[in-house]
Amino acid sequence: MRLTTKGRYAVIALVDLASSAGDAPVSLASIAERQKISGAYLEQLFLRLRKYGIVKGLRGPGGGYILSRAASDVSIAEVIRAVDEPLISHVDLSEGLPMPETDGMSIQMQVQSLWAGLGLHVYNYLDSISIADVCCNRLTVPFAGRSEESAKSLMSCGSMEGDVSYAQTERSSLAKCDA
C-alpha cells in the first residue's frame, strides 16, 4: 500500500474543485492559489485525472476543469489510483525474506499477511468515501466494536491531536451538500 503526496494533493484539489460555487469550470491557478500547491504540479495531476475520466478540461476564456461526474460518484481510492500506483501491490510475500527450512509458513510471511490485510482495509475504507463525503464533512472514524469514548481515547494518544468529530455533519457553506 502506498499513499504519496500526489494522492494527497489530488484529493485536496478535487475537494476544492467540487466545493467551488456552481458548475462553472475552475482554473488550476485558482486551486493552486487557494491550496498553496504548485500550478505546474497540479497540471501533471490533472492530466492523469483527465486520462482516468475523473475531470474534464474546458478550453478558452472562462475555461478550467470540472468533475466529469457527480462528486458522490468519485471515490478517494479512485483518485489515488489515477495519480499513483495501485494502493495495494500484489507482491510475492517471500520476496527478499530469508526463508527458514520449515514445513509451515515462516513468521515473516505470517506478519507480511498482517500488513497485506491492513492495506486491504485501508483500500476498502478509501473506496467507500467519495469526494462529496469529504466536501460535506460526512466522515466518521471507523472503530468497529469500540465505544465513542474508547475511540476518542485512542485518537488522543500519540501524534493525533485535536478534537475528532464523530457525528456526520454538513458544511452549510457548501451548496452541493445542502440537498
pLDDT tens, residue by residue, 75-128: 999 999 999 866 555 444 445 555 555 556 678 888 888 888 888 898 899 999
Q: Which CATH number fits domain 5-135: 1.10.1040.10, 1.10.10.10, 1.20.1440.130, 1.10.150.120?
A: 1.10.10.10
What pLDDT does residue 98 have? 59
Position 36 pLDDT exceeds 70 = yes
Whole-number average pLDDT of the chain: 77
- The owner of cell 474534464 is 56
Rounded to an integer, the average pLDDT of 11-36 is 92
pLDDT tens by residue, 122-155: 889 999 999 999 999 888 765 555 555 655 554 4
Q: How far is CA 81 from CA 4, 5, 25, 75, 110, in A?
A: 11, 13, 23, 10, 27
Domain range list for the chain = 5-135
In whole angstroms, what is the distance from residue 73 CA to residue 37 CA? 25
